[in-house]
Amino acid sequence: MEILELSWLAWVVTSVVTCWLLPGRWRPWGIAAFALAFLAVTDPPSALILATMAAITWWAGARDDRRHPGIAAAVVLLLGVLAVFKAAASQAGGFAMPLGMSYYTFRCVHYALERFKKNLPPHTAAEFLAYLFFLPTLIAGPIHRFPEFHRDLRRTRLDGGLLSEGFERVLYGYAKILVVSGWMIQSQLQPWIAGLAPSQPWLSTYLYMLSAGFTGYLTFAGYSDVAIGFARLTGFRVIENFNNPFASRNIIEFWRRWHISLTSWVRDYLYTTVFSLTRKPYFAALAAMLVIGLWHEISSRYVIWGLAHGLAVACCQWYQRRNAARADATTGGRGMLGAVAGWFVTFHFVMLSFMLVMHDFDRTMDIYRTLLTGGR
Amino acid sequence: MYGWLSPRIGHRAAVAVTALWYGLLLVLVMLLATEPPADFRYDDL
């Protein structure tokens, strides 16, 4: 099931209309019931698994006794279940993951931890269920947070501006996926690049790398736009997921602009914890990026990808610290040239790393070899 | 888009341009949604 499928579109449009027709006190139940019905019809095992995880999350967060091991056990259980499914799905001939489980699990952990820390506003079980079973963001994120969702749920009223923004985002999302990524790049540009391959192998490989990277970005950003757009049509402002990531001048900035809902989750619940326990920022960065890699897929290529980005982030942290120390003695920045060089290195590092996760190991090495030596 | 255009080119023109732009995108999206997706791989080079 994907956002591009007509059946998902039919479900989510019906859900938006129904939510506005329901009286305010029934809206949370309506939102949750619609998403559960969607899961039950399209993929019943997913409905069962996600409902069980919701029950565990509610139970764990509701414990008042701070010494009770329930919260730690629940977080380990939720993440363990996700890891088991991801490991099984990555095996050859493995089964499909439950719909939206990667996003859903991180929402559950966020909710359980914040409720345990008493950081959440007073709310009902229906509002909790509406947060977890929110159809626009259920299958492809973003990993939005409970307090913002709850605020919008309580004060939502029909707002022409929000509806217009929502419609525009949905349209731009589908345009990114189908027009720019699907038609312009994949159907028109890439066959043209293939025509260059016999005479100019280096150029064709380089252009292929850029086109594949942009295809991946536009497709994922398009999914996020569609989800954010439908959320707005339902009356909710959920977190943005991308902010011109390819304009980043260093790898830390890139990760502040790319898949923002995931990176902010990892920063809040993993990086901060590891850093406060070890006082080693480089180690925390490495751990955070490794987890981001494994969150995508439990496989050797994503381990290498995560470690490569972790090392790059650690190097960038070291460089920034060193420069900050020097800046005390010398004034002035690196200027325009430094910014352009930073952008160039970051952009190409990201594109090269995309090749690693988009292809098997042999093809990735083939691409790297061609880019280094100039011939295929 | 309308919010950005309106103070620059006036209300009526902004409505017309926005409607045309949305219409064009909508037509393109609907036309291309029926096309089979291209699956270009590195092996095709």
Q: Write out pLDDT tens, residues A280-307.
A: 999 999 999 999 999 999 999 999 999 9
pLDDT digits (tens, 9 = 90+) for A266-278: 999 999 999 999 9
Angle, in degrees to the nearest 10, between helices A27-42 and A6-21 = 160
B39 lies in some domain: no
Number of Cβ atoms within 10 Å of the Cβ of A240: 13
| Distance in angstroms (rounded) separating the CA atoms of residues A297 and A102 | 10
B17 lies in some domain: yes
B11 lies in some domain: yes
- B4: closest CA of chain A, how far (Å): 12
Residues A251 and A221 in one domain: no
Residues A229 and A279 in one domain: no
What pLDDT score does A197 carry? Answer: 87
B2 lies in some domain: yes
B35 lies in some domain: no
Among candidates A57, A62, A59, which has minimal Cα distance to A132? A57
Cα A332–chain centre separation: 36
Contact in structure between A234 and A19 (CB atoms under 8 Å) = yes
Structural domain count of chain B: 1
A175 Cβ under 8 Å from any chain B Cβ = yes
B42 lies in some domain: no
Residues A256 and A365 in one domain: yes
- B23: closest CA of chain A, how far (Å): 10
B3 lies in some domain: yes
Give the range of the structural domain holding residue B15, as residue numbers without chain letter.
Answer: 1-27
Residues A288-301 as b/e (b if ≥16 CB within 10 A, e otherwise) read bbbbbbbbbbbbeb
B45 lies in some domain: no
Structural domain count of chain A: 3
Q: Of A5, A178, A209, which to mutate for an interface test with B (greatest number of B Cβ within 10 Å)?
A: A178
Give the range of the structural domain holding residue A347, as residue numbers without chain letter.
Answer: 245-373
Read off φ and ψ for residue A275, nearest 5 degrees: -65, -40
Residues A141 and A191 in one domain: no
Residues A18 and A144 in one domain: yes
- ipTM value: 0.85
Give the start-end residues of each E strand in A11-157: none
Q: Do A208 and B39 touch (CB under 8 A)?
A: no
Angle at Cα A372 formed by Cα A369 and Cα A373, nearest 5°? 80
A186 Cβ under 8 Å from any chain B Cβ = yes
Closest residue in B to A202 (Cα) is: B45
Angle, in degrees to the nearest 10, between helices A101-116 and A44-61 = 10
The DSSP output letter for A268 is I
Residues A16 and A58 in one domain: yes
Residues A128 and A209 in one domain: no
Contact in structure between A188 and A238 (CB atoms under 8 Å) = no
Q: Which of A155, A173, A201 is the last residue of a domain?
A: A155
For A178, the closest of B33, B40, B42 (CB atoms) is B33
Interface of B with A in 4-43 (CB under 8 A): 22, 25-26, 28-29, 32-33, 35, 37-40, 42-43
Write out residues in chain A with pLDDT < 50, as ranges.
none
Contact in structure between A293 and A305 (CB atoms under 8 Å) = yes
Cβ-in-10-Å burial (0-12, 13-18, 19+) of A372 comes to exposed
Confidence of residue B43 (pLDDT cuts 50, 70, 90): confident
Residues A18 and A39 in one domain: yes
Residues A147 and A169 in one domain: no
Residues A149 and A165 in one domain: no
Q: Do A175 and B1 touch (CB under 8 A)?
A: no
pTM: 0.91
